[in-house]
């Protein structure tokens, strides 16, 4: 007779001293882990609920401006620095770590219309209602020195925006026309005009650095190549575009913030159809900025909220609002992909987390692992109705909530009308037009 009976030595399973970690022998045999899927589902549900519990995106508010914030700029070299220009001509430089203003410059009479930092981070440009472009040193003046710009250029017309080239000492301003300036000269290298209009914003492409785009109040978006004498092409939309932003990872792609509550992502090569129409705002979209990963962008709207959209999706994944925040004029996504800054009418700059439920600060390895595991579970079960409902739930201010409802009704009515028209007219006489094409009036080469 041969016999063996299970007999475990407790010493192999119990820790030797109280200072040791308890022993945890594992056996990954699936039959020892029953109900794998229901348990994972429960975990995913818990994780989703916890995510909503911990979703506290508001980090800080920077106050100090004496008028509404009109423009903001990121520092290309320092994560903790942000510049803001207000409607009273004041420019403030903020330290985000200390959450305080480090320097105040009275840059212009009237509005500071545009603000951009040179790629090296040593100086910045401002344009204002007083028809001047000013270059300022980033470092504050020494003791006894006066706060003075390095250069001042007096233009003929009001400038409404400025952007600096990403590599060379060249910058562009817009107003009645788009001017390309060499930093060393006081007259523009080149001026682009296409019809008579007032151009509201101009942006250099961060990848194809010679390409720039502008949007004007006659509803068009114009693309330029700095090396050519004439603009490349333009697209005319139904309503005015307020700002555009280039995707930092995909050279051809830019997103336009439109007055008709939508954002349009375009491929530069094919302006006839938008890549995606992003809908969710209930008032004009005033500003847009891409995350450094190029996967998402944030938009600021007149409806007193900011929204985060994934690039490939038509609807926002997140909406931020507070009771005190008024019309949001400008918004920036920080270069470390973690924060969002919004400047609004009521003189405050707000700092938000880009991922609302993210824990700030250093994570312990086990905590990080647990969070990753939860993320994966949430992804796995994201389409289950309960989980989707919880993860999509957001509280909205009453005004936005009721307006969304109103818009929905309006959209349905429009669709119905369209259907009826189609039904009662000759077949094929009322064509189907997709949302992506509907809002484009014309493309002019």
Q: Which residues bind other proteins (CB under 8 A)?
A: 1-8, 10, 12-14, 22-43, 46, 380
CB of 28 to other proteins, least distance (A): 4
CB of 3 to other proteins, least distance (A): 5
Report the residue number, 373 or 401, with the smaller CB distance to other proteins: 373
Q: Are strands 151-154 and 178-182 parallel, antiparallel or unpaired?
A: unpaired
Q: ∠ CA 40-41-45 to the nearest 5 degrees?
A: 115
The count of other CB atoms within 10 Å of the CB of residue 373 is: 13
Maximum separation of any 2 CA atoms in the chain, in Å: 108
385-392 and 36-53 helices, crossing angle to 10°: 10
**Element of type H or E holding 333:** strand 328-333
Report the residue number, 64 or 310, with the smaller CB distance to other proteins: 310
Q: How far is CA 440 from the centre of its chain?
A: 23
CB–CB of 124/112 below 8 Å? Answer: no
Ranges assigned E (strand) in 75-227: 81-86, 90-95, 100-106, 112-117, 123-128, 132-137, 151-154, 161-164, 170-174, 178-182, 190-192, 199-204, 211-216, 220-225
**Element of type H or E holding 380:** helix 365-380
CB of 335 to other proteins, least distance (A): 30
CB of 367 to other proteins, least distance (A): 15
Report the residue number, 380 or 439, with the smaller CB distance to other proteins: 380
CB of 43 to other proteins, least distance (A): 5
CB of 427 to other proteins, least distance (A): 19
Residue matched to tokens 């006894």: 144
Report the residue number, 14 or 441, with the smaller CB distance to other proteins: 14
CB of 8 to other proteins, least distance (A): 6
Report the residue number, 9 or 184, with the smaller CB distance to other proteins: 9
């Amino acid at each position: 007779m041969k016999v063996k009976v299970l007999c475990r030595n407790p010493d192999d399973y119990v820790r030797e001293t109280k200072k040791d970690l308890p022993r945890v022998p594992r056996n990954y045999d699936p039959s020892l882990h029953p109900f794998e899927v229901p348990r994972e589902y429960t975990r995913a549900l818990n994780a989703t609920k916890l995510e909503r519990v911990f979703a506290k995106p508001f980090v800080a508010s920077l106050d100090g401006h004496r008028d509404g914030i009109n423009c903001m700029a990121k520092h290309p070299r320092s994560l903790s620095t942000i510049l803001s220009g207000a409607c009273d001509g004041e420019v403030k430089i903020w330290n985000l770590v200390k959450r305080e203003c480090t320097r105040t410059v009275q840059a212009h009479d009237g509005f500071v219309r545009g603000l951009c930092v040179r790629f090296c981070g040593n100086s910045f440009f401002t344009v204002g209602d007083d028809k001047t472009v000013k270059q300022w040193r980033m470092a504050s003046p020494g003791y006894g020195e006066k706060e003075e710009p390095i250069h001042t250029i007096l233009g003929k017309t009001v400038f409404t925006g400025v952007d600096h080239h990403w590599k060379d000492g060249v910058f562009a301003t817009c107003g009645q026309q788009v001017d390309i300036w060499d930093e060393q000269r006081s007259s523009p290298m080149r001026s682009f005009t296409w019809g008579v209009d007032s151009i509201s914003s101009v942006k250099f492409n961060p990848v194809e650095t010679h390409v720039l785009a502008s949007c004007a109040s006659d509803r068009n978006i114009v693309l330029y190549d700095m090396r050519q004498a004439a603009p490349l092409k333009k697209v005319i939309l139904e309503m005015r575009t307020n700002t555009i932003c280039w995707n930092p990872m995909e050279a051809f792609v830019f997103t336009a913030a439109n007055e008709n509550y939508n954002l349009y992502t375009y491929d530069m090569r094919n302006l006839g159809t938008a890549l995606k129409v992003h809908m969710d705002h209930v008032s004009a979209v005033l500003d847009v900025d891409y995350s450094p990963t190029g996967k998402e962008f944030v938009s600021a709207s007149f409806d007193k909220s900011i929204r985060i959209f994934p690039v490939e999706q038509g609807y926002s994944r997140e909406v931020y609002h507070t009771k005190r925040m008024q019309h949001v004029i400008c918004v920036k996504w920080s270069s470390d992909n973690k924060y969002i800054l919004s400047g609004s009418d009521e003189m405050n700059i707000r700092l938000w987390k880009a991922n609302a439920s993210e824990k700030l600060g250093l994570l312990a390895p086990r905590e990080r692992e647990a969070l990753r595991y939860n993320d994966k579970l949430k992804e796995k079960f994201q389409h289950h109705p309960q989980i989707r409902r919880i993860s999509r739930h957001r509280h909205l201010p009453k005004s936005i909530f009721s307006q969304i409802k109103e818009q929905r009704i309006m959209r349905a009515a429009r669709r119905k009308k369209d259907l009826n028209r189609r039904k009662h007219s000759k077949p094929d006489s009322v064509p189907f037009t997709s949302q992506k094409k509907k809002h484009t009036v014309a493309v002019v080469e």
